[in-house]
Chains A and B, each alone.
Chain A
Amino acid sequence: MARQATRRSPRRSATRVTSTDAVPKRGTSTVRRPRGKGWLRGYFKGHFQALFLSLGRVSRNPLSSLMTIAVIGIALALPAGLHVVLKNVQGVSAGWEDAVQISLFLNQSIEAAEARRLVEKISAMPSIEEVVHVTPQQALGEFRQYSGFGDALEVLDENPLPNVLLVRPIKEASEPLMVELLLHELRSLPSVEMAQLDMEWLKRLYAIMAIGERGVLVLAVLLALAVLLIVGNTIRLAIQNRRDEIEVQKLIGATDAFIQRPFLYSGLWQGMLGAVMAWLLVTLSLWLLHGPVQQLSLLYNSNFSLGSLEPVGILVVLVAGGLLGLLGAWLAVGRHLRDIEPT
């Protein structure tokens, strides 16, 4: 096989046997990595370029981007909207807590003076807002006035009604658990015959709202997964569309980081624009509900007005959208970019 070469360059004759270590180097032969002073500037410049390149791509492919953004918007609007509804229901029911009242029926044997002492004692408790003392005489008077049995009562020798204390806890002590504790405490007072609290309905409402909150959370997690899949799929298609370009970039020395940057940013853009869309959808829905709700609250003599997404909520939706978009893109990029190698 080792025939003499038929044609040799003049330089060829000067070639000597060289060990691998002594392979002559010419020009720049070092593995170039971004280092030194300009490194950070270069890093940010690269990101800046990719950021706008990706925005350019989003705007150059408006229809498919818009579809993705719309789907993300709807997916994020659902939990955000339900959250707003729950918040409003909680706001309304918080008003009802003012109506929490415990009726204490004292023993028959308790005299008015002793009942007054008890009023003072209970009023001094830190969780009590107000105590109203209804004497047997007052109760009888009211009964006469409103029941229509006034004549029948004349038959009785003595007043059969006990002293009654109407206890209203402060706002902070009005949630079910605290009220329950208070009720227990009051019931155990020696002069109290019976303590009554009708707030089963409030407990049920709270239970339903807890379920609602949990439901919104579950829904939010599911829809977040959906957003991940949507963005992931969009980015996967984008990668496939740019297969040739990625191949060429790899051929001329682009790092994975360089190639994936624009895809990550377009995921971020789509997620954030989707979040803006969600915010608009929620605001629009609330605007549509505003009129009917106003009417309803008028019927209830209430000045309730529908609250919208609070600033923190808007921020959460924006950040969630951006992060989900970025994460979806990152997952897609990790899975699909490696497969593309130049041949």
Chain B
Amino acid sequence: MIHFENVGKRYAEGGEALSGINLQLDAGEMAFLTGHSGAGKSTMLKLIGLIERASYGQVIINGKNFSKLGRRHIPYVRRDIGIIFQNHKLLNDRTVFDNVALPLVIAGQPHRDIQRRVHASLDKVGLLDKERMLPLSLSGGEQQRVGIARAVVNKPPLLVADEPTGNLDPALSAEIMNLFAEFNQVGVTVLIASHDIDLINRMDKRVLVLDKGRLIDGAGEQGEVLQ
């Protein structure tokens, strides 16, 4: 599902954020991405979400080689990747329902399906009773859950989350992580960047460790073979 081959990323200003990354994450796997601040976690997720392009190497997600992908195709590829951001990136002038419905509206789904699937998605994250509220009137954890509901509403095969529990209390963090584990159980591939070591340890999943832009642990067999 996620395949990195000798991937590096150099930002226009600043040094190399990622260098020589080899990684193989199979469909249906769930893994955590950790490392010190500035290690390159967000950069790696941005490469997966096509928000940034690799400076060299091959990023192949869901069978599609991103280095060969034209600008026109980017939107369609992004629809198959559910991304969750630490700062939620919700539209604050739209209701919770409208926010969650957005991916379906963008994909041109029929109205009836939208209603049903948004409700299913909100039910999953336990916010069905808040659908008419605006995001800013929700708590941080609730906003994060709206973001998750939006990311999963069109059933993408891959979910990536950048510090989804960044500023939540431990109980809430655990709750959100369990939500991800539930999605993983129904076959969704999940990759979560986090530096909440305790929580990661409790989840007992594969852990990828980044250090100064290099993947020093959990690369997967292929990565290890290549190195």
- Which residues of A are at the interface with B, using a C-beta cutoff of 8 A? 1-3, 5-9, 11-12, 15-18, 20, 23-29, 31-34, 38, 42, 45-46, 49, 244-245, 247-256, 258, 341-343
- Whether the Cβ atoms of A17 and B221 lie closer than 8 Å is yes
Name the segment of B72-80, B120-128, B137-145 touching the other chain.
B72-80
- Whether the Cβ atoms of B106 and A254 lie closer than 8 Å is yes
**B220: interface (CB < 8 Å):** yes
**B36: interface (CB < 8 Å):** no
Q: Considering residues B60, B77, B105, which has the most beta carbons from chain A within 10 angstroms of its beta carbon?
A: B105
With contacts A11-B29, A26-B27 taken as known, whether A20 is within 8 angstroms of B58 at the C-beta atoms is: yes
Q: How far is the CA of A147 from the CA of B66 in the complex (A)?
A: 102
- B102 cross-chain contacts in A, Cβ below 8 A: 248-249, 252
- B80 cross-chain contacts in A, Cβ below 8 A: 28-29, 31-32
CB of B180 to closest CB in A, whole Å = 13
- A245 cross-chain contacts in B, Cβ below 8 A: 91
- B106 cross-chain contacts in A, Cβ below 8 A: 249, 252-255, 258
Question: Which chain B residues (28-75) contact chain A, with CB distance < 8 Å?
Answer: 28-31, 49, 51, 58, 60, 62-65, 73, 75
- Whether the Cβ atoms of B29 and A5 lie closer than 8 Å is no
Tally of contact residues, B, Cβ under 8 A: 61
Q: How far is the CA of A176 from the CA of B86 in the complex (A)?
A: 80
3 pairs of A and B residues whose beta carbons are closest in the complex: A27-B157, A253-B79, A26-B27
Q: Considering residues B64, B75, B204, which has the most beta carbons from chain A within 10 angstroms of its beta carbon?
A: B75
With contacts A27-B157, A343-B51 taken as known, whether A12 is within 8 angstroms of B60 at the C-beta atoms is: no
Subset of 22 A-B contacts with CB under 8 Å:
A3-B216, A7-B204, A17-B24, A17-B225, A20-B5, A24-B26, A25-B27, A25-B157, A26-B27, A27-B188, A28-B80, A29-B157, A31-B80, A34-B108, A248-B89, A251-B83, A252-B78, A252-B103, A253-B75, A253-B106, A258-B106, A341-B51
Knowing that A24-B1, A251-B89 touch, tell me 14 more A-B residue pairs with CB under 8 angstroms: A3-B216, A11-B26, A12-B29, A12-B206, A16-B221, A20-B60, A23-B62, A24-B27, A26-B28, A45-B108, A245-B91, A252-B78, A253-B77, A256-B75
CB of B34 to closest CB in A, whole Å = 11
With contacts A20-B3, A245-B91, A258-B106 taken as known, whether A250 is within 8 angstroms of B75 at the C-beta atoms is: yes
- A42 cross-chain contacts in B, Cβ below 8 A: 108
- B220 cross-chain contacts in A, Cβ below 8 A: 12, 15
- Which residues of B are at the interface with A, using a C-beta cutoff of 8 A? 1, 3, 5, 24, 26-31, 49, 51, 58, 60, 62-65, 73, 75-80, 83, 89-91, 102-103, 105-108, 110, 150, 155-157, 187-189, 201, 204-207, 214-225, 227
- Whether the Cβ atoms of A29 and B103 lie closer than 8 Å is no
Q: Considering residues A33, A34, A252, which has the most beta carbons from chain B within 10 angstroms of its beta carbon?
A: A252
**Smallest Cβ-Cβ distance to A3: which chain B residue:** B217
**Smallest Cβ-Cβ distance to B27: which chain A residue:** A26
CB of A338 to closest CB in B, whole Å = 9
Q: How far is the CA of A2 from the CA of B209 in the complex (A)?
A: 11
With contacts A23-B60, A23-B63, A33-B76 taken as known, whether A9 is within 8 angstroms of B206 at the C-beta atoms is: yes
With contacts A3-B217, A258-B106 taken as known, whether A29 is within 8 angstroms of B207 at the C-beta atoms is: no
**Smallest Cβ-Cβ distance to B79: which chain A residue:** A253
Q: How far is the CA of A130 from the CA of B187 in the complex (A)?
A: 98
- B65 cross-chain contacts in A, Cβ below 8 A: 20
**Smallest Cβ-Cβ distance to B62: which chain A residue:** A29
- Whether the Cβ atoms of A5 and B26 lie closer than 8 Å is no
**Smallest Cβ-Cβ distance to B82: which chain A residue:** A252
Q: How far is the CA of A41 from the CA of B148 in the complex (A)?
A: 30
With contacts A18-B24, A253-B107, A258-B106 taken as known, whether A9 is within 8 angstroms of B214 at the C-beta atoms is: no
- Whether the Cβ atoms of B27 and A251 lie closer than 8 Å is no
CB of B167 to closest CB in A, whole Å = 20
Q: How far is the CA of A264 from the CA of B33 in the complex (A)?
A: 42
Q: How far is the CA of A12 from the CA of B3 in the complex (A)?
A: 14
- Whether the Cβ atoms of B103 and A11 lie closer than 8 Å is no
CB of B31 to closest CB in A, whole Å = 7
- Whether the Cβ atoms of A31 and B77 lie closer than 8 Å is yes
- Whether the Cβ atoms of B155 and A6 lie closer than 8 Å is no
- Whether the Cβ atoms of B214 and A49 lie closer than 8 Å is no
Q: How far is the CA of A288 from the CA of B227 in the complex (A)?
A: 87
Q: How far is the CA of A131 from the CA of B18 in the complex (A)?
A: 100
Q: How far is the CA of A6 from the CA of B205 in the complex (A)?
A: 10
**Smallest Cβ-Cβ distance to B58: which chain A residue:** A20
- A251 cross-chain contacts in B, Cβ below 8 A: 49, 51, 78, 83, 89
- Whether the Cβ atoms of A28 and B155 lie closer than 8 Å is yes
Q: How far is the CA of A16 from the CA of B224 in the complex (A)?
A: 12
CB of B65 to closest CB in A, whole Å = 7
